[in-house]
Every structure is written in C-alpha cells, then in structure tokens.
Structure 1
Amino acid sequence: MNANVRIRQQTSKAAEERVAAYDWDGLGTDLDAYGCAVLEKLISPEECESIAGLYLHEEHFRSHIIMARHGFGKGEYRYFKYPLPDLIGGLRTALYPHLATVANAWSERMGNDQRYPATHRDYLELCHEAGQTRPTPLLLQYREGDFNCLHQDLYGDLAFPIQVAVLLSEPGRDFTGGEFVLTEQRPRMQSRAEVVPLRQGDAVAFAVHNRPVQGTKGNYRVSLRHGVSRIRSGHRHTVGIIFHDAR
C-alpha cells in the first residue's frame, strides 16, 4: 500500500468517526421539521483555511463559473475534479449514509419509487451508469456586493435530495452579511424563508428540491430553493458537498 492510499484511508476513517459523533436522530428531526439541520464545528478552523486556500490552485478543479455571466447572482465558484481533496471526499462518503436514511424516508412519504443505496460508492455507480460522471463538490468565493440567487442544484436525472454546505469563513471577522437562506413553497400558500446562522466550520444539511410535510390529510410535497444574501463587506468562502455527480 502506497503512502497516498494509506493517508486517504486514514482520512476516510477520521471523517466517519467525526460524522458518527453527531446526534443523527436529532438532525433528522430538524430536517423533517425545517428542511435543514446544522452540524456545528464539522471541520476545524485550520481545515477551513486549508480548503479555502485551494481556490487559487486551478489543478484541483475541473471548471470555473462566474455567476453573473449565467444570471446566478454575483460571485464565483469552482467545481472540484476527481480525485477530490481527501477531507472533502472523506466527508462526502461519511455523510451520505446518514442522509440516505432521511432521503429514503422522504421518498416513501412522498410516494416516490426512488430509493438510495446504503453506501455512497453504490450511489455513484448508479450516477455513472446514467451518464453522470462529473464530480459536483464545489468551492464558492464571494466578495463585497456578491450574492447567490435562490436555486436548486440538479445536474441530471439522478439527484440526491439533500446537500451539505460548510462555511469556511468567520462571520463578523472575515465578512458581514452573506447569510444562508432557504425558502419553501407550500401548495396554495405564501413562501416561507429560513435564515440559518453559521460560524466558521459549521455545516448545514438541507433539502435540495422537494421534501414531505405532514398535513391534516397526510403527507404533501413542498418545493425548496437555497441561496446566499448579499455580502456587506469582506470575503466569504463556502464548500458545497453535493452527493450526485453531473452529466
């Protein structure tokens, strides 16, 4: 076994232990109730700075998106290429099984046939069989005046219904403004907004597209979008962990 493989295995095990330490019953309850849940201090300040520092090194990425060119808002982001950085890949693998449990329960409640495999490797195999082979984890960078329009990250026929975003910058020190925003549209009702306060290293898991809500006559489907409010000052970096691959 070469040194790189051994380091990846150690990182993966550390990520599994880190993720397993959370109260997943409580996080699942929050996802059911609000469409989002916060994992406090998922990564350390040193890890945040290390990941954010990758942004200027193009060899880690497959593409670079200037958001204003596409009407996505203002700001920019880069999609990582395979192999992912060890920490990002390890967290993606470790988070998936816990979120797949929630995703499968949601599918059943919404009457969907879609079921998600127990491991991320098996889910990626399904993506690749469907022609979705490009990695989707991304690193976002915002400056003063930038923002991210409300949107859904859907890249093909297969789309995992929960995503995770990790704030790499410290609010009040590195930037002001730039709150994570989630909106929910219920049938025949006004939209509901959820503003999620995060500190450096905190992660938010959230519904990407649809989720079930229990009503008086059973479960019904609501549609969600997410975005980032205007950056008032400074710089903000975020890493997005998306579990399906893209076409």
Structure 2
Amino acid sequence: MTIHSISSHREIRSAQARVADQDWRTLTGELNAHGCAVMPALLAPDECAEIAALYPREEHFRSHVVMARHGFGKGEYRYFRYPLPDLIEGLRTALYPRLATVANDWNEKMGVALRYPGDHAAFLKRCHDEGQTKPTPLLLQYGPGDFNCLHQDLYGALAFPLQVAVLLSEPGEDFEGGEFVLTEQRPRMQSRAEVVPLRRGDAVIFAVHNRPVQGTKGHYRVNLRHGVSRLRSGQRHTVGIIFHDAK
C-alpha cells in the first residue's frame, strides 16, 4: 500500500478498516483514565517511510515552521495543504467519529454545552464557518538536540479536544531520545507527567487542552500540554493529525 498509488476512495476504506480493528473499549478506558492511549501498528513500516519522504517536497505543504524562530523548541515542521495525502485524509475521516463520542462525553462531564457532530465533514464546516479554513495535519522533523516545548494545538476559537500523532521512525534504530511527553495540571496539585513509549507506526491519541477527572464531588477539569523530549541522536519524523482547521 502506498499513499499515492491507491485511489482516495480505496484509501479511505482502508483507513476505516484499520481504525475499526482497534480495541476501542480499551482505548476509551485509557483516554478516560490517563488522557492518552496508544493504537499499536496503525501504519505499516513502508507507509511510515513514504510519509516521512514527503518532507522535502514543498508541493505537499502550505507552510514551514522552524521552531527556534518562534520559541517553540528546536526542530521543524510543515503543515500539509489541501488536498491531504489520501492515507492521512482517510485516517482523519475514520478516526474522528470514534473520538467525537469521547469528546462529547468529556464535555458533558465538564459541563461544556458544545457537542461535536458525528462526521468530520460536518465538523469542518463548523470550522470554516468560524473562519478556520487552513488544514492543520502536519509532518514534524527532529535532528540531534531538537525538542518540542510543551504546548497546545488550538489554532482558533473552535478546537476539537483530541488529536493523534503517529511515529514514523524507529526508536533505537533511527533515533535515540525524543520521547512523547504529556503533562497534566490538576487544580491545587503539582503537574503530572506521562511519557508515552511508541514504536514506528504506533499512534498516540491524546487530549489537546482539557479533560474531565473524577473527584470526590464529581468531575473536574484538568489542563494538558504535550511535547517531545530532546533527541539524543539520529532523525525522528512524526505525522500529527489535528481535527480542527486553523484561521
């Protein structure tokens, strides 16, 4: 399978099948308990290599960000332009309904009135109606000494509360260090850090901004940020699938 040789229709069906094969009961439990969950082997090694190989091909991207210029860390990334590569578009479309169910449950528990529609096209229409029309899926590249500061990918007033990152490189072979890190700040408590081990092709689902936590008097809201620790050696590529568009 490649991201170029298979038609968009077949690619989306393939993405739907692999997303449906995931253990969503366990994934939902992990998201509710920890704010993150790992989908193992979502992409095959050849798919990872093909997506990573797009990085120098500027025709696929709308913008290029060098993190050090903006205080985001060290490393760089490129935002894809529309139309997205078929496989990335297919995964974005297939993952969204599963995660919308979690997102709506979280909003109900946090007392947030906003509810998300059941399909991604309807949600993107909301984004575009808000003036958020720029695609947000991105391809990140790190070299020795690079890192990504803790942050939140919001991009506008309308933000979907979950996103997905897929590691395209193999730890221990392609790079050392560079762990995915999630931090959570609970009211009147110290921050909690979660380091998520990933292999090439694994995808981590994680909270973008807030999530509910069960307390003694009901649910309360916690704030999350994510980043990548310092790369010790080698090169690391990741594809980020963000479900809301940007202004």
Q: TM-score scaled by structure 2?
A: 0.98
Question: What is the aligned partner in structure 1 of residue 177 from structure 2?
Answer: 177
Matched residue of 1:56: which SS? Answer: coil
2:200: which partner in 1?
200
Q: For residues 15-34 of structure 1, what are the structure 2 equivalents within 5 Å?
A: 15-34=15-34
3-state SS in 2 of match to 1:82: coil
Post-superposition shift, 1:73? 0.1
Give me the identity figure in percent: 73
Which residue of the partner structure matches residue 70 of structure 2?
Answer: 70
Letter in 2 for 1:209: H
What letter matches 1:107 in structure 2?
N
Distance 1:51 1:106 in 2: 32
1:156 corresponding residue in structure 2: 156
- Tell me by how many angstroms 1:119 deviates: 0.1
Summarize the alignment of residues 37-52 of structure 1 with structure 2, pairs less than 5 Å apart.
37-52=37-52
Q: How far did 1:188 drift?
A: 0.1
Partner deviation per Cα, 1:121-166 (whole Å, 9 max, x = no partner) = 0000000011000000000000000000000000001000000000
In structure 2, what is the Cα distance between the partners aligned to 1:192 and 1:117?
31
Moved >2 Å (runs of 4+): none
Structure 2 partner of 1:232: 232
| Structure 2 Cα separation of the partners of residues 144 and 230 of structure 1 | 8
CA distance in 2, matches of 1:147, 1:23: 31
Distance 2:12 2:232 in 1: 37
Cα distance between partner residues in 2 of 1:58 and 1:155: 22
Tell me the distance in 2 between the aligned counterparts of 1:192 and 1:130: 34
The 5 A counterparts of 1:1-247 are 7-247=7-247
Amino acid across the alignment from 1:142: Y
Please give the alpha-carbon distance, in whole angstroms, between the structure 1 residues aligned to 2:39 and 2:212. Answer: 22
State the AA in 1 paired with 2:64. H
Q: How many residues align?
A: 243
Q: What letter corresponds to residue 82 of structure 1 in structure 2?
A: Y
TM-score (norm 1): 0.98
Extract unaligned runs of 5+ from structure 1: none
Unaligned segments of structure 2, at least 5 residues? none
Question: Shift in Å at residue 41 of structure 1?
Answer: 0.1
Shift of 1:23: 1.0
Residue 25 of structure 1 and its aligned partner are, at CA, apart by 1.1
The amino acid across from 1:106 in the alignment is W
Hey, what's the Cα distance between the residues in 1 that align with 2:147 and 2:85? Answer: 26
CA distance in 1, matches of 2:132, 2:95: 20
Q: Which amino acid aligns with 1:214?
A: Q
Q: Secondary structure at the match of 1:145?
A: coil
CA distance in 2, matches of 1:17, 1:169: 23
Aligned residue type for 1:169: S
State the Cα RMSD in Å. 0.8
Letter in 2 for 1:45: P
In structure 1, what is the Cα distance between the partners aligned to 2:107 and 2:25?
18
Tell me the distance in 1 between the aligned counterparts of 2:114 and 2:228: 30
